[in-house]
Amino acid sequence: MIRMFLLAILIVAGSLHAQTIVPFRTDTGRPMIQLHINGKGPFPFVFDTGMPGVMVMRSLVDELDLEVIGQEQIQSPAQGTPVTADIVRIGSVEVNGLKRASLDASVLDMSGPGLGQGVIGPIVFETFGPMTIDFAQNTITVGAGHPPPGITSWMAFGPSAPLLDVEVKLAGYAINGHIDTGNPGLLALPDAFASQIPLTGPLKTIGKAKTIDKEFEIRSAPTQVTATIGDATIRLQEVTFQDVPVANLGTAGCSGLILHIDWKKRRFGLVKSYPGVPGAISQARPAGNGPRFGMMAHPQSDGTLAIAGTEPGSVAEKMGLLAGDMLVAINGTPITDLGGAQIRAALADSNLSLTIVRNGQTLTLR
């Protein structure tokens, strides 16, 4: 049997109900998170919405001496010639306190800039609850209590689930596609649409792309069209065409958007990011014009603030605030009762206290 990026994921009983924030970087073109494998690491992994499990690089297999337990045929959504891949047994995968035990992963015999030590898909964290991926704040909220505001056009899981099947509405067409953050690009369309989409300049070959099972040319042309996916609209000044069966929304195309996945209801939504407050918050200074507070956070739909990180040497770092914390009160006053100006003023208090939730426990930082 040929399986598309198959991973045999063993579900662990139980789930973590508290929200956990996982920051990611995109300087490599793809979302990159830090994972511990079998208690070692961290290792950089691509967080790929087009990956239904885990793949590890051959170099990591050798470094960790992972046991090869078999082989199977795998194939990418590009539907190239299936390839044979080793399967290895992983004892545990952990990120920011989220831990999955006993997973099988395919071995990827590829290398290149921006690929890290492996690839991991959202489905690995399914048992921890709904997930919100914020491409404006570069954070993944696992166990998200509520969907972000503005999602009205929910998209049901399709035949490629856990890959995210979407309908791209563009220039009068409804084109089947995927949300695929393993693709660093904007929006790629099947070659057949090169003669259908209105272009404002010549179509040129700009390079080649390579998946695990296929290599193909990438052609690009300028355009002035708007693509709609769910509740998100994406204004395109360029579009690429490839020898692929469906459209592909990549990491660049997700910039400024929020993706929310509801595993239980088997649906997901895509919407423009709501205005955040991290800039105003990080500028708050304590009395005496000392170092700025340096907290990077973004609001949740329940009114709390999810901490994405702290600036080195800042007051927030010295207080012990960590990425993944949920800020629920300042100086005893619930965040939900404070406006932006009040938050800035409160953070400048020399006798500051913060009430946070960390891994399900309520703590006070001073």
Ranges 54-58, 224-228, 272-276: which has the least confidence:
272-276
Neighbour count for residue 311 (Cβ, 10 Å)? 15
Residue 347 in 3-state DSSP? helix
- pLDDT, residue 112, reads 65
Mean pLDDT of the chain: 84
At residue 4, does pLDDT exceed 50? no
- β-pairing verdict for 333-334 and 305-310: unpaired
At residue 216, does pLDDT exceed 60? yes
Q: What is the pLDDT of residues 330-364, one digit of tens each?
A: 999 998 887 666 777 788 777 899 999 988 889 99
**Does the fold of domain 278-365 match that of domain 2-142?**
no
As given in the structure block, the two tokens for residue 61 are: 């297999």
Q: What is the pLDDT of residues 249-295, one digit of tens each?
A: 999 999 889 999 999 999 999 998 754 433 333 434 444 445 567 77
- pLDDT, residue 113, reads 64
pLDDT-based confidence at 18, cuts 50/70/90? low
Contact of 295 with 310, CB cutoff 8 Å: yes
How far is Cα of residue 4 from the mean position of the Cα atoms in its chain?
A: 20
At residue 1, does pLDDT exceed 50? no
At residue 28, does pLDDT exceed 80? yes
Domain 155-256 has what CATH class? mainly beta
At residue 81, does pLDDT exceed 80? no
- pLDDT, residue 8, reads 29
Q: Is 259 exposed, middle or buried (0-12, 13-18, 19+ CB in 10 A)?
A: buried
- pLDDT, residue 242, reads 92
The arithmetic mean of pLDDT across residues 155-170, rounded, is 96
At residue 222, does pLDDT exceed 50? yes
CATH, range 2-142:
2.40.70.10
pTM for this model (two decimals): 0.72
CATH, range 278-365:
2.30.42.10
Q: What is the pLDDT of residues 300-309, one digit of tens each?
A: 656 677 776 6
Residue ranges per domain, the chain? Answer: 2-142, 155-256, 278-365
